[in-house]
A and B are shown apart, each in its own frame.
Chain A
């Protein structure tokens, strides 16, 4: 290393980004694949009924039958985590999918037409960003009541303006490209041009942002369930399990460790996928 370390910085910057992108993407996809498989096959894989109460096994430590221990009702922590992962992934993915489905057309139209159309679409969306994310979610839950559907909806509302902004920024760049102008000159209508030429070439940064946001959506859902405002019992949720186990933390730490690790791994998989996609689909950093 030189005195300032500058050559190292240059060396790292000059390293081909493709390899790192592939590694991130692969690790992320494999990790997510395993988690999704576990979630889908929950009824087959879970060794016990997640809701089965066993008074003889209250707070039982991990052993051969209950691999990750039992909770304060004697329920199997592993089985509950597997089923909770299902709910968490479903809420996180569906909220981001809904937000994307609304945000992409809005951002596309705003970025493509610009001018008053842009103002009409973008200003109301900016208003949503006035409140910090969790505060907005809590406000919506106050209005609609707690539950996993409301949590998913709240997360979708929070991410809608973010994704629309990314799509708009990306469309602004794409709309000026020669091939778009050429399509217009050839007589292609606005809708056809947007859908056929602008959309496919602008969607990359949205995919990047979308996968990162899915990770954060998972954290948000867990936080809301931890506060008792997301997924409601008896449905197992990772945040809810963390809230339940807090009172017996020193007696049964596995109740807190297992769901937390599950959340962290799931979030990590989405962040790695986002990182890998960014390096391939969005080298200019529009998504950030």
Chain B
């Protein structure tokens, strides 16, 4: 299989995945037991109100026509309207998605820097370094991310007063203020991710360093730093990137909780408040936005891995 065929095949594979997702999100509203419109509007709504709302949501049509209409709107960027503010949901998403993106991308970058550095160090470090990183991994994985966040607030906001406990300003309004608000949420979300990346990097690095090619490099007299940073990381990268891709899904889930904890106006917080308000169209739009992000990141990761390790694209495997 050539490189191009691999890329095209992988791109085409994304279409059924996205389609299944739309089907799933579409069904959320239809699977709610009883009458979702009545549940949304409350029991004081008049039958006329219910009928109007049902018509607006297209719920009075046959299921297949509802889906086709909804999917058609989606393809034109129409996500429907928010039940409470009546604003178009596509507009709401364009305000909220950047917040979630900033949070998740910064967290992932921080987690990669910490995880890869410590992981590479642990792979060649002394027994004490290994036990220390072992402990860090166990702690990072066992502690729920939102609890880590609460403890960070307790220390850096409530006790030391260095950072705001919650809140948000857009980056375009006040870049420094935006980053100040982002420090704790990003550190919270990055904690557990760094632990996973550390563990993976260490494992991948250990197996790479045992390859004959590495023994050869060592015999050639290459220093330990160049050995690990130059050759080792390059060879461990495909494994690490694959795990980073899988972990991005976990990170997006964590972002939902962290946004709620720190009062960040992202998509995750929108989903949670909308579930409580029974604002189902907003839940659907939010789930769709986050899930699409996840699918696109998985796609990007697969392409990066194939680029890092051409054997993947050639179908040889590692």
Q: Which A residues are within 8 Å of any B CB, using their own CB?
A: 1, 3-6, 8-10, 12-13, 127, 130-135, 138-139, 141-144, 146, 215, 219, 222-223, 226-229, 242, 246, 249-250, 253, 256-257, 260, 263-265, 267-268, 271
Contact with A along B260-284 (1 / 0, CB 8 A): 1100000000011001100010010
Q: How far is the CA of A135 from the CA of B288 in the complex (A)?
A: 10
B147–A242 CB distance below 8 A = yes
Is residue B144 within 8 Å, beta carbon to beta carbon, of the partner chain?
yes
Whether A135 and B252, one on each chain, are in contact in the complex, defined by CB atoms closer than 8 angstroms, is: yes
Contact B287 A138 (CB under 8 A): yes
SS of B interface (majority): helix
Q: Known: A4-B224, A5-B126, A6-B218. Contact between A138 and B142, CB under 8 A?
A: no
For window 17-54 of chain B, which residues contact chain A by CB distance below 8 Å? 17, 20-21, 24-25, 28, 31-33
Instruction: Let me know if B158 and A138 touch, CB within 8 A.
Output: no
For B275, list chain A residues within 8 Å (CB): 138, 141-142, 146, 229
A contact residues around B125 at 8 Å (CB): 5, 8
- Nearest B residue (CB) for A219: B144
Q: Is the interface of A mostly helix, strand, loop or mixed?
A: helix
Give chain B nearest CB distance to A233 CB in angstroms: 14
Give the number of residues in B that approach A within 8 Å (Cβ atoms). 58
Please tell me which stretch of B77-85, B87-95, B290-298, B304-312 contacts chain A, meaning at least 4 of its Cβ atoms lie within 8 angstroms of it: B290-298
A4 to B221 alpha-carbon distance, docked (Å)? 11
A256 to B152, CA, bound (A): 12
7 closest A-B pairs (Cβ-Cβ)?
A134-B253, A5-B124, A250-B158, A260-B147, A132-B249, A268-B142, A267-B142
Residue in B24, B123, B165, B290 whose beta carbon sits within 8 Å of that of A132 in the complex? B290
Task: Give Cα distance in the complex from A143 to B283, angstroms.
Answer: 11
Partner of B224, one of A3, A10, A215, A227: A3
For residue B90, give the distance in angstroms from its CB to the closest CB of chain A: 19
Chain B contacts of A142 at CB under 8 A? Answer: 28, 32, 275, 280, 283
Give the residues in chain A near B250, CB-CB below 8 Å: 132-133
With A131-B24, A226-B257 known as contacts, the answer to whether A260 contacts B138 (CB < 8 A) is no
